[in-house]
Chain A
Amino acid sequence: MLKWITIIFCCQLAGETLVRLGALPVPGPVAGMVLLFCGLAAIKSVPKELGTVSSGLLSHLSLLFVPAGTGIIVHLPLLRDDAIPVSIALVLSTLATVVVTGWMMQLLMRRGEPPTEAGDNG
């Protein structure tokens, strides 16, 4: 277990280093994700313990956004001044983006393959 935690951190560290060396327009952790992916592609399987560590972290991914989200308190006065334009712009634009992207993707995905049906809550 500790071995895989160490490897995950190494990927992130290597990713951060690569991004800075190459001035790439991606966050260090995303570069780290690509590195880990290449590693998995090289060994052609997901080791059981890595699966355990990653599903442990990812099943509570939402929690990790709470500290940054609480930062909204700092900008409440600015947001209050523009509350109506900001809320309308965020809600309309985000939901329209979801529909445009999802609809486009569903339309263009390989035909012939039966789509995996989603329930009402997905």
Chain B
Amino acid sequence: MAEPTENLRDIWVYLSATPLLHLTLTLIAYQIGDFAYQKFNRNPLLNPVMIAVALLVTMLWATNTDYTDFFEGAQFVHFLLGPATVCLAVPLYRQFQKVRDNLLAIAVSLISGSLFAAVSAVLIARVLGASQDLVVAIAPKSVTAPIAMGITEQFGGLPSLTAVLVILTGIIGAALGPVVMNLFRIRDWAARGFAMGTASHGIGTARALQVDETAGAFAGIAMGLNAIATAILLPLIWVWLVG
């Protein structure tokens, strides 16, 4: 008869080869993150994405699992990002009157936010002596991942590094954005949502949707528009910005 520990290892080896294990672990990690978040009154500092990612990275590191093996299972969750983005049409439609009444404010805030996000990130990273790879990859950090990766590729950077910086930006904005907006007395829901969507794309939008429908709708539209604005504006200032 085999040792019990050996049995356990066999079971682990078997389960690791199916998508079920990592899919389930992804859901459990998120449940833990969401539990902590809800428990403390949706305190933005306890961002559930941040908690879940920290747990999963620790788990992958402790079990020496490749990210690609993990993604075999987690991809089923990842896939739903597309349909969820399509669904943002619903809150947007419900709030459309308000969007139409504020087109000028939207256009001006969008262009300022889009340029400010890229220019400030590149300048700070350069001044502090970050490597060229990082300077290139950080420029489109506020843009939703698929477009940000395309922009970086266009400038000869590392798209996968951009993906990581984009997610970190989303977590930082979702966790600390509401705190600084309180500090600067930005109290209007539409303005708060628009700022979250512009600065921290989908993760900021997820946070905005949880607190208010107007904020969620403006965050969704900001995320979509900022992807377009940055894809058009960033190439125009690239030579001046990065050289």
Contacts and interface: CB of A to CB of B under 8 A. Distances in A.
Nearest to B205: A61
A85 B184 CA distance: 25
Contact of A72 (B86, B87, B168, B198): B168
Interface in B161-219: 161, 163-165, 167-174, 176-178, 180-182, 184, 186-192, 194-196, 198-200, 202-203, 205-207, 209-212, 214-216
A41 B60 CA distance: 46
B152 interface: no
A79 B90 CA distance: 38
Contact of B56 (A27, A51, A70): A70
Given A92-B124, A97-B116, A106-B191, A33 B92 contact: yes
A6 B164 CA distance: 31
B51 to A, nearest CB: 10
B94 interface: yes
Interface in A55-87: 55, 57-75, 78-79, 81-82, 84-86
A81 B132 CA distance: 13
B48 interface: yes
A18 interface: no
B209 A69 contact: no
Interface string A22-40: 0001111110111111011
B84 A75 contact: no
B48 A62 contact: yes
B5 interface: no
Contacts of B61: 73
Contact of B101 (A41, A90, A99, A110): A110
B163 A73 contact: no
Residue of A33, A75, A117 with highest tally of chain B CB at under 10 A: A33
Nearest to B83: A8
Interface of A is mostly: helix
B82 A28 contact: yes
A89 B52 CA distance: 24
B141 A94 contact: yes
A5 B34 CA distance: 25
Give the interface size class of chain A: 35 or more
Given A72-B53, A121-B44, A27 B195 contact: no
B180 A98 contact: yes
Interface of A: 5, 8-9, 11-12, 15, 25-30, 32-37, 39-41, 46, 50-51, 53-55, 57-75, 78-79, 81-82, 84-86, 88-110, 113, 115-118, 120-122
30 contacts: A12-B83, A25-B147, A25-B228, A33-B220, A50-B90, A61-B202, A61-B205, A62-B34, A62-B203, A64-B80, A64-B84, A65-B170, A67-B77, A68-B78, A85-B124, A89-B121, A93-B121, A94-B169, A97-B195, A99-B186, A101-B195, A102-B191, A105-B109, A108-B102, A109-B188, A115-B188, A118-B187, A121-B41, A121-B44, A121-B178
A-B pairs with lowest CB-CB distance, top 5: A102-B195, A101-B113, A85-B128, A108-B105, A67-B74
